Amino acid sequence: MTSPDVLVVGAGAAGLFAAIHAGRNGASVLALDGARSLGAKILVAGGGRCNVTHDFVDEASYAGSSPNAIRKVLRRFDVSDTVEFFAEYGVTLKREDTGKLFPTTDRARTVLDALLRAAEEVGVVIKFPRRVEAIGHREESFVVSGEWGEVTAPRLILATGGQALPKSGSDGLGYEFARTLGHSVGDQIHPALVPLILPGDHPFRELSGIAVPARLVLRSGTGKILKTFFDDLLFTHFGLSGPCALDISRYWRAALIDDPGTRLEMNLFPEHTEATFDKVLLDSPHATPLAHLKAELPERLCRVLCDMAGLDPSARLGQLPREARKALVRTCITAPLGVEGDRGFTHAEVTMGGVPLKEIRLETMESRVRPGLQLIGEILDVDGRIGGYNFQWAWASGFIAGSARID
């Protein structure tokens, strides 16, 4: 097939979904992907179980473009549509306590197989490895080429993803295509849902493997709270991971662009403020700091906290000098973490930044600057929280693009 009705570049979650729905509409569809094997991200997602979507999805769980624009896309293909689509191909989804939806098989492979079967059923042709190296325009058609040759099509769906996990095939070249075709991709393309790095000598690095529920608070240089997340926080040999750290990482990075004074604080007793936690300590004069903290936190972490506060873990709380007690309070409730950086695209789950939705007609996902071009999935300036939100974005934007009638 060298001149299909619809040419999809990138056969990941969004591209496959768009191809399926364009095929269902009766179009001849060719999808090209540069990877040696298809669906790498679907297969590794959710620890190999693929967190397909979330029980409750709305624009509040996303960042990037305007919430209004994100909502318009999400409501065209919602969670029940996702559940129904996969059920049609024999993949039943189950809801876990966190609200995340996974296939009952607990195998990402069943999700990818369902997508490939759906594509085959409507005659979508998928060619890989076919890395696209250039996209141009000749007469009324897009011309897409690589070492393998050239294909032309009147309609092009760009679904090349972002830059997260580049070895999966999404290495950011798609942004160049978008620029060449007339779109503005901001220069703020950064890893998101990415682990955070603490200084080499930070005592938390000794706590590798410990996970606790915690609140991370992002503050501006002036002390204003910009964002908070409460979830599991995992200490690692390099710093912090787990959903709490991953969720806040993009907000930390975004705030830092304009305000170098931005800082991240950790509250290990999220039901407390400094004042209420201090009162609790004052009310237990006979307890030791270690015994008190150990009631809620792992002992290794408690010892590090006492050490950071500069106090003897086995002293009586009632005998501690006021300043020492206050230091413990700050260490547990408002300690700035001194995050130095993030682990980069290789360890990120998604990309912050991309083509802004204001350059897209949201009824069809068609470009406002280049008729016949549609953009979907992670290449757009939309990134979601941990929990299935990013796939839901891929399904919704892919559905709209694939089922749109474009002349």
Ligand X SMILES: Cc1cc2nc3c(=O)[nH]c(=O)nc-3n(C[C@H](O)[C@H](O)[C@H](O)COP(=O)(O)OP(=O)(O)OC[C@H]3O[C@@H](n4cnc5c(N)ncnc54)[C@H](O)[C@@H]3O)c2cc1C
Residue ranges binding ligand X (CB under 6 A): 9-15, 32-35, 41, 44-46, 50-51, 131-132, 159-161, 164-165, 169-170, 173-174, 349-350, 377-378, 388-391, 394
Alpha-carbon distance of 154 to 373, in angstroms, equals 9
Minimum distance, C-beta of residue 200 to ligand X, in the bound complex (Å): 26
Instruction: Sort residue 224 into left (φ over 0), alpha (ψ -120 to 50) or beta.
Output: beta
Minimum distance, C-beta of residue 254 to ligand X, in the bound complex (Å): 18
Q: Which long-range contacts (CB under 8 A, 24 or more apart) does 310-314 make?
A: 313/288, 313/289, 314/288, 314/290
Minimum distance, C-beta of residue 46 to ligand X, in the bound complex (Å): 3
Q: Quote the tokens at residue 100.
A: 């995340």
Minimum distance, C-beta of residue 32 to ligand X, in the bound complex (Å): 5
Looking at beta carbons only, is 249 or 390 nearer to ligand X?
390
Residue with tokens 């304009």: 258
Contact at 8 Å (CB) between 382 and 65?
yes
Looking at beta carbons only, is 129 or 298 nearer to ligand X?
129
Burial class (CB in 10 A: 0-12, 13-18, 19+), 66: middle
Q: Quote the tokens at residue 242.
A: 């787990």
Looking at beta carbons only, is 167 or 368 nearer to ligand X?
167
Looking at beta carbons only, is 76 or 294 nearer to ligand X?
76
Contact at 8 Å (CB) between 377 and 278?
no
Run of H or E including 41: helix 40-48
Minimum distance, C-beta of residue 108 to ligand X, in the bound complex (Å): 8
Contact at 8 Å (CB) between 31 and 22?
no
Can you say how many angstroms the Cα of residue 135 is from the centroid of all Cα atoms in its chain?
27
Looking at residue 321, its amino acid is: P
How would you classify the pairing of strands 6-9 and 155-158?
Answer: parallel
Minimum distance, C-beta of residue 57 to ligand X, in the bound complex (Å): 10
Looking at beta carbons only, is 42 or 406 nearer to ligand X?
42
Looking at beta carbons only, is 7 or 217 nearer to ligand X?
7
Contact at 8 Å (CB) between 201 and 176?
no
Burial class (CB in 10 A: 0-12, 13-18, 19+), 60: exposed
- Total residues found in the chain within this entry: 407
Looking at beta carbons only, is 248 or 333 nearer to ligand X?
248
Minimum distance, C-beta of residue 171 to ligand X, in the bound complex (Å): 6
Looking at beta carbons only, is 14 or 281 nearer to ligand X?
14
Looking at beta carbons only, is 11 or 324 nearer to ligand X?
11
Minimum distance, C-beta of residue 347 to ligand X, in the bound complex (Å): 8
Minimum distance, C-beta of residue 33 to ligand X, in the bound complex (Å): 5
Looking at beta carbons only, is 178 or 327 nearer to ligand X?
178
Minimum distance, C-beta of residue 241 to ligand X, in the bound complex (Å): 12
Can you say how many angstroms the Cα of residue 153 is from the centroid of all Cα atoms in its chain?
32
Using alpha carbons only, what angle is made at residue 26 by residues 125 and 1, rounded to the nearest 5 degrees?
30
Q: List CB contacts of 165: < 8 A, sequence separation 6 or more.
A: 40, 41, 44, 345, 346, 348, 349
